[in-house]
Amino acid sequence: MSAAPSARGGDAPVLGVGPSIHSIPPGGQECPPHAYRGRLAPSPTGYLHLGHARTFWTAQERATEQGGVLILRNEDLDRQRCKPEFMTAMLEDLRWFGCEWQEGPDVGGPHAPYKQSGRMPLYRAAFEQLRAGGFLFPCTCSRQDVLRALQAPHQGEDEPVYPGTCRAVTGDKWQVTGDVRADAGGDLSPSWRFRVPDGRAITFLDGLLGPQSFTAGKDFGDFIVWRNDDLPAYQLACVVDDAAMGITEVVRGADLLASTARQLLLYEALGLVAPAFFHCPLMTDERGVRLAKRHDALSLRALRQRGCSPPELRAAWRQSPTA
C-alpha cells in the first residue's frame, strides 16, 4: 500500500500500483464456503424483458442448486425514471415467470428495507469512509466534457475512461454537510470519483466465463461513486447493499464485467469481502441488437399478454443458449 495526496489535500493511504487484486472463490466456480445468498436486483425504470428473465432465472437456479436464499432488491435510485407502475409490474411479471424469493420489498426479511431509496444512510456512511480515506476527489466534468477531452465522438455502452481532468482538485474547496454538496461559494455541486490505481491488474474468476482481468487506468478510469444530484452511483450502492445483505454470489449480465473490476476496488477500499461473480451472456433480438427496456415487444408483460407461457419461453432460449 503506497501513500499519495488525498482528495482533501493531505496525505492519506490510497490504492497504489502493486500486487494485483485477485477475487477467486474457493474451488473455482463454487461460491465461498458459507450459506449461499443470491439476489435479483431489477430497477423499475421500464418493463422487464426476456433477457432480464433469463438472467434472473439463472440466479434462481443457482440459489436452488446450493440450497440457498434468494433476495429481491428494488434498485429505485433513479428518481426521474423509476415509476410505481413499473415496480408493480416488476413483481407481477417475475412471479408470473416463476421466480421466487425469500426476502424482498413485498415479503420483508432481516435486511430491510429492500429498496435502495430507503437505504441512503448506508451509502452516505460508505461515501464518507472513502472520502476520509483519501480515495475520492471532486469532479465537475460532465460526460460530454470527458468525451471532448478524449476526442471521442461516441459514448458507447460503457463509461469512457476518465482523462484525469479534476484529479488535482483538492476536496477542501468543497463543503460536504449532511445532504448538501456545493462549493464554498454555493455554486455547482461536484460529483465524486474514485481514484483508480493506474496500471493495477484487477483479476477475478467468473463462475461462467472463467478468468477475467482488467487494468485500472486502461480498461476503466476514475469512476463516479457519488453523483452531483446527491445520490450514490450504481457502483457504490451495489457494493454497499451486496455486502450488507450478505450476498455470496452476484449473477448478472456480461455487460457488467468491467463494473466488477471497479467494484472489487470499492470492496477493498471499504474493507469488505467480495462475493463470487457469475456473468450471463446477453440476449439479443432478431437483428442481433442487445435487448433493452425499449424492446416493448419482448417485455415479459407483452409476452404474457400474447399468451406465451414461461415454460415455452425457457425452452426456446435453452435451444439457443448464445442468443
What residues act catalytically? 293
Element (DSSP H or E) covering residue 300: helix 300-305
The count of C-alpha atoms lying within 13 angstroms of the C-alpha of 289, restricted to the half-sphere facing its C-beta, is 6
**What cell numbers appear for 124 in the block?**
452516505
Residue type at 5 in one-letter notation = P
Decide the pairing of beta strands 249-253 and 276-280.
parallel
> What's the gap between Cα 184 and its chain centre?
31
